[in-house]
Structure 1
């Protein structure tokens, strides 16, 4: 009788580690400048793109998985120079780096005082010594999926609220200069003074990239204590060449190769 040999094939189980919402620093929400928990609200829009406009736009983007509002009430910062915010139900993460300062999340309370949403805000620094200007530089790195791979999205709309200050803090007024750098390295700047009045001059600054571009970084120079709330962002897929453009590039490549061979 012949014996049949049975071959045992080992089965290897692969485990995919995904990034869950619980491991992320901040969880984005869909409402800009909410007024249920926090009665305080935006007083002024310093830019042509207003707080009212971004409220509508970011709500639509959030529903479509293409944006959100970072209100600093849902999570923490694990790296004082970096902020990571999940959106699209936790399937995407926006990575923002500060090349100039360290950040911290703090509690300013609810009701009519302090924050614009919930009770917590982002503290962006203070002049040392007053009123020496100091810089924050928000660099939008990339958007990744649950596996940490780039989604190909880039920030095309960004806005935030700069809180005014109690006049007893360093004399009050805060002279700000915003410089926005787009993906083609073009820039736009704005100078604006936020008076020290405590809850009467909370100011919104919002920017949209030109068609076909994205926002590369936002630099803010300030002369007084700086606290921000409700970062609104919208992302769009990075520009992809049209099929005709791809075909033309391929044809040019073939012509170049043929010319080199003929020589």
Structure 2
């Protein structure tokens, strides 16, 4: 059986998605994700009128920020990291079609649904004189900020939620170590939390599905053998299910 590491609000949704595909998994939360107390104030104080690039790093970032973003100017371009993030933006645009002035929303190719993938887009290579706003969670990665700053952009972070480690992990069902032969993980933070909670020797024996080469490198640095690590492209349930199905063939 596989463990799927997700924030608390996603564990049951992920387990249901895998079950519909005929795969038995246990959703396991090692952290919870909570909106900031003053999301409206945080979002409305941003200078959207003079922003050229807006990047939503997650579905939750989009869900929390969109209600407080007014109509954007014609020169603003919108980027989404991840399929679920893009779907949230698309649904909002369908309901409020003028908020982004009919601009096409940009998402990386299916095989590059990561920060590294979005940084490879041609439209984000030359950013001299541009203003960029990254809508994200607190303590999120600095990759986007660092890379876009190096390319000449003035980058601001808008942090609308926070991640907190759970004192006691929450699972969708009772399980024991011997029940598990593999783990699905979508971030370095979740991987590190697993190492903070469970025996290292046990974790190193398991198969791991990770969503980027960066996480694969981090897993290897923690002691997981490379032959136990498989990289998939995309952190949404559909991409993860597809990879597990391939491993089961």
Identify the TM-score tier after normalising by the shorter chain: under 0.3
Larger strand proportion, structure 1 or 2?
A: 1
Larger helix proportion, structure 1 or 2?
A: 2
Task: Point out the structure with max Rg over C-alpha.
Answer: 1
